Each structure stands twice: as structure tokens, then as C-alpha cells.
Amino acid sequence: MTDAGPVRAITVAVCTYGDAPHLAEALASLVAQELPTGLRVDILCVDNNPAPRVALPADLADRVRIVREPTPGLSRARNAAVAHTTGDTLALLDDDAVAAPGWVAAMAEDLERTGAWCLGGRVLPRWPGDEPTWLHPQLRYLLSIVDLGDKVRSLRGPLFPCGTNLAIRRFAFDRVGLFRPALGRHPGSLLSGEEIDLFRRVLRAGGTVAYTPHAVVHHIIPASRLTPAFLRRRAWWEGRTLALLDRIHRGWAFALGMAIARTGLAVVREPAAWVSARRAGQPPELAICRARKVLGYWAGLFAPIREE
């Protein structure tokens, strides 16, 4: 089903909670976008703090609408953005990401060209210094780094875009529903998966999900996340997220089978991968994080799903 039609107006939403030292930079990168003729952009900042915290400098305050969603939770904040969308498309940018020049124009062009309901772009890292030598390339996704190549392509999973750099046709929410509040970041939690849940519902409804290399954002990676401890914690929550997604979309019996299969693979693969890394004088983080992901999956298998 490719009845998406032209893109004439995009609402870009930046959701924020807690300390957001790069929020102004993220919003400024949107204000600075050069737009093709006939495309209108509305910039939205969703303040997801229980008490109002967002205060913008004058040069941004005139260009950015602030919306309050006092109940914490990224899915709730994004659903507030949907409710306040004035365009035919909602685009999402994280509050610690910077849109490259031409980002909005590339999103609009490739949404039209592909007819996709959801379109995600390339997310490149902005390191605080040099990239850590211990960070295995296969673990970069835990930092929301997405690079699926140099061609526009349709996606059906398991690879999907991430919400750091994502555009969704407004009508898609009318057809498949909003972001699921049981998924996504909450204070004290690294749970995710609300985008994947939405993508799966879109695909079932006959829509398409696509990736474009032309719409680029730079994700600002703080030093606090460039530690083995953070990545191990993030991997555990990734496993928990995947288990909840499998339970929601495939049922508990399927998820149990996946847990057993993941465990069997880990028992065979990870000790050997750990030894191999040590012999090569390399950090064993890939093996450790993959094992932590399996443990998180088991936790997610028995965790309550709190639909709100």
C-alpha cells in the first residue's frame, strides 16, 4: 500500500526529559534547515518533565512551540507530539542529536519517492574524543548509531531505523495506533522498542518502513556512555526489550522458545568468543554484552507488560 502522497508539511518534534545539555543545539539545527519550495516545517519541543523545565533562548523561542506532557515516558511524549502535529508527517529528533544540513528536505524527498509510511535516516556518532578502541563495531547499535549503507532500501526486520532520526506519516497513527506506553524509555530504565512495535504494526497494515542514507543526524555520545558498564547495562535492557516485543507480537510460547534458543547459542558462542578476544589481546566486551542480552531476554520473558 503506497498511498502516502506528497509531503507538504512536516512537524519535527524533539522530546526531552531531565538534563538536556544539547537541547538548544538540536533545536538550532532544525531552525537552520533550508527548505525546498512548497515545504512547511513546524518545530515542536515536548517537555516531558513533571515540572516545566524547558526554557529556550530568544532566537529559538520564536521558532519553536513548547508542549507539556507531565507524565514521564518517551512514548507518552511522542504521543503528545502526534497530538500536536500540524503537518502530514511527524519527524523525530533526539535532544542529544544534531540534524545535518538538508535533513528535512531529504526526509521529504525520500518519503515521497519511496511511498513509505515510516522512514529512518543515518545516525552518525559525535564522539567526545577518539572512538574507544575497546568498542566493538557490532556494539555501536547500543549507542543508537545506525548506518545501513548508501542506498535507500525497504526494511522488514530485524534491522530497523531508530527514533533518533525518524519520520512517520501522520495517517499511519490513525491506522495502526500510537506509540505503546508500555515500551520506551522511562526514568531509571533503558527499555526501548516503541519504534519497532510501531513498525511491526505498520507492516501488518500493509505499509512500508524504509531507510535513507540521505537524511543524516549526528548523535552526541557523552563520555558517561563510553564505558563497559554502561554498554553491559544497555545490552541487558535490549534483551528485555526484545522479549517484551516477542511476547506482544508472537506470544509467550514463542518468546520462551526464543529464550531457550538464545541461551543455547550463547552457551556455545560466548565462552569461545571471550577466550578468542583475550588471546588476541582485545577486550571481550562483545561476548559479555551478548551474554548480558540473553540474561535481559529471560528477565523480559517474566516481566509484567503494563499497558497504560
Question: Domain extents for the chain?
Answer: 9-225, 228-302
Give the residue-averaged pLDDT of 228-243. 98
Work out the percent of the chain whose per-residue pLDDT is above 70.
98
Q: Enter the DSSP assignment of 10.
A: E
Whether 241 and 292 have beta carbons less than 8 Å apart is answered as no
> Model-level pTM?
0.95
Would you say residue 308 has pLDDT above 70? no
Using left for φ > 0, alpha for ψ between -120 and 50, and beta otherwise, residue 188 falls in left
Asked if CATH classification 3.90.550.10 holds for the domain at 9-225, the reply, yes or no, is yes
Would you say residue 307 has pLDDT above 80? no
Give the pLDDT band of residue 2 (cuts 50, 70, 90).
low
Please give the Cα distance from 148 to 127 (Å, whole number). Answer: 20
- Which residues on neighbouring strands pair with residue 45, listed in sequence order? 14, 66
Give the residue-averaged pLDDT of 244-260. 98
Please give the Cα distance from 218 to 209 (Å, whole number). Answer: 21
Q: Taking the CA atoms of the chain, what radius of gyration do you get in angstroms? A: 19
For residue range 67-108, what is the model confidence (pLDDT) as tens digits? 999 999 999 999 999 999 999 999 999 999 999 999 999 999
Give the residue-averaged pLDDT of 145-159. 96
Mean pLDDT of the chain: 95
- Dihedral angle over CA of 142, 145, 151, 152, nearest 10: 80
pLDDT for the residue numbered 53: 85
Give the pLDDT band of residue 5 (cuts 50, 70, 90).
confident
**Lowest mean pLDDT segment, chosen from 3-7, 133-137, 206-210:** 3-7
For residue range 21-75, what is the model confidence (pLDDT) as tens digits? 999 999 999 999 999 999 999 999 999 999 888 989 999 999 999 999 999 999 9
Assigned C-alpha cell, 1:
500500500
Whether 246 and 254 have beta carbons less than 8 Å apart is answered as yes
Give the residue-averaged pLDDT of 267-272. 97
pLDDT for the residue numbered 221: 97
Identity of the residue numbered 252: W
pLDDT for the residue numbered 19: 85
Give the pLDDT band of residue 1 (cuts 50, 70, 90).
very low
Give the pLDDT band of residue 227 (cuts 50, 70, 90).
very high
Identity of the residue numbered 102: G
Whether 213 and 106 have beta carbons less than 8 Å apart is answered as no
Would you say residue 271 has pLDDT above 50? yes
Would you say residue 209 has pLDDT above 60? yes
